[in-house]
Structure 1
Amino acid sequence: MVRIFGILAGLFFAVAVLWSFVVGAITFAEEGMPKSVERSFHKHPKEVHFASDGPFGNFDKQQLQRGFQVYKEVCSACHSLRLVAFRDLRQLGYNEAEVKAIAKGFQVPGLDPSTGEVNTRPGLPTDYFPKPFANDIAARAANNNAIPPDLSLMTKARHDGPAYVYSLLTGFTEQEGYKNEKGEELLKKFPDAKTPDGLHFNPYFANLNLAMAPPLTGEGQVTFGDGTKSTVPQMAKDVAAFLVWTAEPKLAKRHQTGWPVLLFLIVLTGLAYAAYQNVWRDKKH
């Protein structure tokens, strides 16, 4: 009797699971994925191309210097680059004196040699870029309770990283009247989705609302040394290219090394196959 009861109970649960699966499949076929504000109005990154793209990509040093200038004059007020040392800027084409001058323009944590107390001092080429805030509490207090992320690996930490950074910086817009690709107006479809006070609407951000105000405010915000016109799209693209370098500074060297290695492996494979054919030619049955 117990065995029969166990079989019936198992059969009941199996039928229940199968029924749930069938009902769920029918509902999904009829209604599709559950809709939400983010899924309906979040945009994928814009299409943008960089010199470092593709297997033959290389860095444009002038663009990287412009991007660093945007970071230094705009982004460094809130965002750190904790994995980048000042001396690494030599890779962008700066000479030793320029690197020393750049480092000296930053205040980094130090120690008073006579008292041992913590203080600040001008940076040295061997120092890493300092954090803009003393701690997370200070960062939250200055940024509407949000901690600005470190940008060292940002283009590798986000899907379509360079395009994501570019799109985010150029994507701030008014929420009122904003429509998605289907022509649906956000606030008419989701009246409760109004951006809270203190946040800023950006359809390229995952939940559409950012604590960060638009950092690039208009043409001429940064004066580039090479004479390039500093429009918002230009500054956004340049700083995105710079962040590609901070995330993968050896990208160009990796490309240069990879192709000879690949050619060597192809030739080696051909030689190995030829040797195999020669050694085993008379041994095959």
Structure 2
Amino acid sequence: MNHLPEVWGRPRNDVYGAYDHSYLQGSHPMQHTQQPIVTGTSVIALKFNGGVVIAADNLASYGSLARFTDVERLKQVGTHTVVGAGGDISDMQHLYEKLLDSLIIKEEYQNDGHSLRASHIYRYLSRVLYHRRCKFDPLWNTILVAGWDDGKPFLASADLLGTTFSSPALATGFGAHLAVPLLRRVCPDENAVKSLTKEKAIETIEECMKVLFYRDARSLNKYSMAVITGEGVEQVPLSGEGKEKVHVEWKKDITLENQSWKFAEGIRGYGAQTV
């Protein structure tokens, strides 16, 4: 036997060969994420007559440090859907690059002329989040799924507990407190969606992003926006069935213009003012 203290009780390597440590791997406890480290803030979305607009800024914060300023938190999934995620960036990357990409690849293997719609992606993600919650190892994200489904715009959210919710105006993070009131001002319910134009919806989203930049310390003045619209039905030649035509318009690296903090000089108590 090898009598060195660190290997007491183990066979000698020069006689029996190198010791196999693989059996020890099962004795280590599984470690779960206890709190998010690098995080993204709000994602906001709004339905309008004929589509959905969704936006998220490009900042990933390391605690209170604005560490990464080029992180894309919106992802197009298939032809009908755009997903936006707030919360832990590593968990978001797991959802996007491992789960959703694999899902779309498997779907494309079928090559049957059909695509996963927004409701399909949403149901899949909500069940993934609930499954991880049941394992006491949640994915620390709140997601918005925007897209086109069954001839009409689709918008819904799911959080790390698997809680699901649908509304014509949705936001995650601080956007749920700061942006949703502004969104509901122009679209208070489903009936108002029919009278809301695409231009007005985009203008409202841009105004909300400006408010979030000023009021949310974890936001950035650079963001991305996606506009999903339906364009009728296209006939599939082989099957003769109808296939929805969906257009996703991307606007990336949008920068808030003419924005500065000069207005703060007029606020009582700001800087070196005498109160």
On whether the aligned pair clears a TM of 0.5, the verdict is: no
Structure with greater proportional strand content: 2
Structure with greater proportional helix content: 1
TM-score by length of 2: 0.22
Structure of higher CA gyration radius: 1
